[in-house]
Structures are given as C-alpha cells and as structure tokens.
Amino acid sequence: MGGGVKKLIACLHRLSRRVTVSLLAAEIRTDVRSEDIMRKGTKRQYSHEEYNEGTQMDEEGQRVVDYVYTLAKRRKTVRQFTSRPVDENEVITAVKTACQAPSGANAQPWRFIVVTDATRKRNIRKACEDGERAFYATVKGEWRAWLLARGFNWSKPFLEEAPLLLLVFSQENAPYAIPSVWLAIGYLLLVIEERGLGTVTYTPSSSQGVLDEMDIPEGWRLEVILPIGFSAEQHAKEPRRSLDEVLYINSWGHGLDVRK
C-alpha cells in the first residue's frame, strides 16, 4: 500500500472522529504490509489518549488535510478507459477505506460487488441501456437539452470497456442508509484517485435489470456503479463554484469574504 493511501486513510480517520478503527488504521502507525492486512480481520480499540493524540492538528496533520484537498481538487469524472488491467487489490484497498465511513446508528448499510467477468459486464451494460432507452424516450425540456448538449445518450459503453466494475448497494431498512452509503462512496472516490485510476458515479435510470442479473436479495438497493480503470481522456475537470457562492455564516445568504 503506497504512502499516499496511508496519508489519505489517516486523514479520513481523523475527519470521521471514530474511536473504534480497524487494523487498516493501524497500518498507518506501523509498517504492516497490505497483504498481511488482507489476511487479518482483528480490530483494535484505541484508548482515549491515543485517539486524541491522533487527531491533533499539527503540521503533519495540516499536510494530510492539504493532500486530501489536492486529491479532491484533481479528481474528475472519467468515462473512457484504456485496456490496461487494474489490480483488484487497489479496489479492495478502496473498499476497506470506504468501510471506515460513519453511518447512521453504525449500521454500516453497504455491500460491494467487484465485477471482472466479461459476460457479467456485458449483461450489466445491456440491462442498464434498456433502462436508459426508456428514460431518453421520455425526458423532455431543459433537462433533455442539457443532456444532449453534453453528448449524453442511452449508450453506456464504459460499463463493458472498463477493466472492472464496482457495484455499491445500500440496505433499504437501515437508518439513514442512503446518505451513509454515499459518505462511503466519497471515501472510495478519493482512494481511486490516489491510486491513479478513474471512474464515473453512474446511477442507472432503472436498476432492476442489474439486481436480477446479480441475484441481489430483497431489501438491497443499487446506489451506484463505478467503472474503474486508467483514464483514456484528456479533458479538464468541470469547473467548481467559488466558496463565496456556496458558504454562508450564521444565516442563509450571509457570505464570507473568501480570499483563497
């Protein structure tokens, strides 16, 4: 596991402020190899003193926060991928990190499926495109114009062309399941970026075909499909709004004088 992932995981643990952490966090403090972590499932309970020590915002902590900001600023949506294979362990590391996200009532209402089989990917693509055809046949007005102006249509070749897919599910009856799972997805995206990989958060217009193809039990909802691979695109990241447009203090519309 690279030093960048270690720094990223350290910062995510600090930001989430969780006292119980897994052996994955312990790797940051020691020099345990990633393959050793894959074999061990024990957890360690950190003391209050250790935990507080690990959350102090010192110079090292500031560097970690700056590093996470750099990753977030750099990350962009990718829909075209090279044929270069992806090491599944990179995705497993991303999922291990995602599982450290906070969740409502600590229900941890997420499940993940890594899909590398070509036939499975083809079937998932077909199921999604069937739903997208129905969607694009009915969408109208400004939304349709926006989609077409950006070249979006029912065809989703990245579902088959990406070396692998990561399907993320939420447990329907768990408290705050959807926001909890999307917090975990945010963790996923940062690790995927840190490893030099690209993805798009694809949410199918209709997920039933995918649920059927993957034999998903009742009570689970498909939140997103992440095609993961090495980017074949050169486009720039879409612009972001400035902080003074989105950040208020004490009341709505009372903005800050943001100089950075």
SS3 of 249, please? coil
With 70 as the cut, is the pLDDT of residue 120 above it? Answer: yes
Residues 6+ apart with CB under 8 A from 75: 189, 190, 193, 237
**Which pLDDT value is given to residue 16?**
56
Q: Where are the beta strands (DSSP E) in 144-246?
A: 164-171, 220-228
With 80 as the cut, is the pLDDT of residue 194 above it? Answer: yes
Average pLDDT over all residues of the chain? 85
**Which pLDDT value is given to residue 49?**
58
Q: pLDDT digit string (tens) for 97-112?
A: 999 999 999 999 999 9
Compare 1 and 127 and report the one with higher pLDDT: 127
With 90 as the cut, is the pLDDT of residue 207 above it? Answer: yes
Cα 27 to the center of its chain, rounded Å: 21
Domains and CATH numbers, the chain: 1-74 (no CATH), 77-233 (3.40.109.10)
**Which pLDDT value is given to residue 224?**
98
With 50 as the cut, is the pLDDT of residue 116 above it? Answer: yes
**Which pLDDT value is given to residue 60?**
86
Percent of the chain with pLDDT over 70: 77
CA distance 121 to 7: 33
Q: pLDDT digit string (tens) for 41-76?
A: 445 555 665 556 555 568 888 999 999 999 999 999
Residues 6+ apart with CB under 8 A from 257: 244
Mean pLDDT, residues 185-192 taken together: 98
With 60 as the cut, is the pLDDT of residue 250 above it? Answer: yes
Percent of the chain with pLDDT over 90: 69
Mean pLDDT, residues 79-88 taken together: 96
Reading the block at residue 118, the tokens are: 């070509």
CA distance 181 to 223: 8
